[in-house]
Amino acid sequence: QLQLQESGPGLLKPSETLSLTCTVSGGSISSENYYWGWIRQPPGKGLEWIGNIYYSGSTYYNSSLKSRVTISLDTSKNQFSLKLSSVTAADTAVYYCARRRGGSSGLDYWGQGTLVTVSS
């Protein structure tokens, strides 16, 4: 059974860089035809797609975050990561990692989510 687990600092100060890692177990992030992505949810609000990375390394980002976001793969550790620079209070959210099969629209496996709070 595939499992995803987010990890990273839960508290950041404004202007710092958010760095989160998603560790995948029960499957390989190098498997062909899968996308690995990040979604966030501010407290009490809806879901926002941040971006995803194809198994080959191609990346796709939300245009509103593109200038601040980087998603990368670490195949040696079976992990993928999210970096979001210059954070503000508006970036406070639960951050989820998830998987999508290529050629399909469904995010079929999700991590449990991790709360990141930005506060001075």
Partner 1 sequence: QSALTQPASVSGSPGQSITISCTGTSSDVGGYNYVSWYQQHPGEAPKLMIYDVSNRPSGVSDRFSGSKSGNTASLTISGLQAEDEADYYCSSYTSSNTWVFGGGTKVTVV
Cα-based angle 29, 116, 89 (whole degrees, multiple of 5): 130
Judged by beta carbon, residue 51 or residue 82, the one nearer partner 1 is 51
Interatomic CA distance for residues 116 and 73, integer angstroms: 21
54 binds partner 1 (CB under 8 A): no
Q: How far is the CB of 64 from partner 1 (least distance, A)?
A: 7
Binding mask 4-43 for partner 1 (x = CB under 8 A): -----------------------------------x----
Q: Residues with Cβ < 8 Å from 52, sequence gap 6 or more?
A: 35, 36, 37, 38, 59, 60, 71, 100
Judged by beta carbon, residue 52 or residue 81, the one nearer partner 1 is 52
113 binds partner 1 (CB under 8 A): yes
Interatomic CA distance for residues 23 and 37, integer angstroms: 12
Judged by beta carbon, residue 49 or residue 78, the one nearer partner 1 is 49
The torsion angles phi and psi of 62, rounded to 5 degrees, stand at -60, 130
Among 46, 67, 76, 119, binds partner 1 (CB under 8 A): 46
